Amino acid sequence: MKKYFSILIALIAISMTFSSCKSLSQFSTELIKKHDLDETRLKKIQFYNGAEKTPIILEKELKNSNTSIIKGKLVIRDGQEIDRVIIKPGTKGAVFTVDSTGNLVVCFSADNKNILTFGPDATKQGNYILYSIKNTKKEFFVYYGGYGESNKYKVITSFGDMPGLYLNLKQLSDKKENGRVEKGRKVRR
């Protein structure tokens, strides 16, 4: 019986360890204020795309054959050539810079050419979401790989929600902990 109990305790401990490894929280203006985050400190934080199952999917129609594809797949839909970029949920990103309005310019690729801008959403407690340059009721557009019409991509979203920017809150803590587990002391007779 003790053997099974020990195994059960070990399994619970292992599952708790793995489930707490990457508990991500959405980045917000509240976190910036609470932790006094300036551009230097923001550049030291590991950010992530989306929380769980929300990839960033960008598409643009290629107008001529000499258009270069930055990073992605070439998709042909109804005779049209489409450049599709997918940034999977949990993809790591780093702040490249903070623009003059306080939006974070984040890079999810190895080079600094392919950047996306995230800004606070006024309707969601200041949570940082993908910043669109132009949006209609059903379509959102962003710049990716530079600025200008040739780098304008349509954001493919589910349920009309813009993808958010996430981080591991443990990373924000400046508190350093040292600890040990005491073994106890046996009484001598």
Which region among 75-84, 87-96, 127-136, 173-182 has the lowest average model confidence (pLDDT)?
A: 173-182
> What average pLDDT does this structure show over 29-41?
92
Q: How confident is the model at residue 118 (pLDDT cuts 50, 70, 90)?
A: very high
The whole-angstrom separation of Cα 156 and Cα 84 is 10
d(CA 169, CA 45): 10
CA of 135: how far to CAs of 87, 101, 154, in Å? 20, 19, 9
pLDDT confidence bin for 19, thresholds 50/70/90: very low
How confident is the model at residue 5, as a pLDDT?
41
Q: How far apart are CA 165 and CA 42, in angstroms?
A: 13
Q: Read off φ and ψ for residue 15, nearest 5 degrees.
A: -65, -35
Closest CA to 74 of 85, 64, 63: 85
> What pLDDT sits at residue 182?
74
* CB-based contact 84:59 (threshold 8 Å): yes
Confidence of residue 64 (pLDDT cuts 50, 70, 90): low
Q: How confident is the model at residue 16 (pLDDT cuts 50, 70, 90)?
A: very low
pLDDT at residue 70 in the model: 55
| Residue 11 binned pLDDT confidence (cut-offs 50, 70, 90) | very low
User: What's the helix, strand, coil split of the chain in %, to 5?
Assistant: 20, 35, 50
Count the Cβ atoms, other than its own, within 10 Å of residue 146.
12
Give the model's pLDDT for residue 158: 67
What average pLDDT score do residues 28-34 get?
91
Give the start-to-end residue ranges of the domains of the chain.
Answer: 24-172
Name the residue with higher pLDDT: 45 or 6: 45
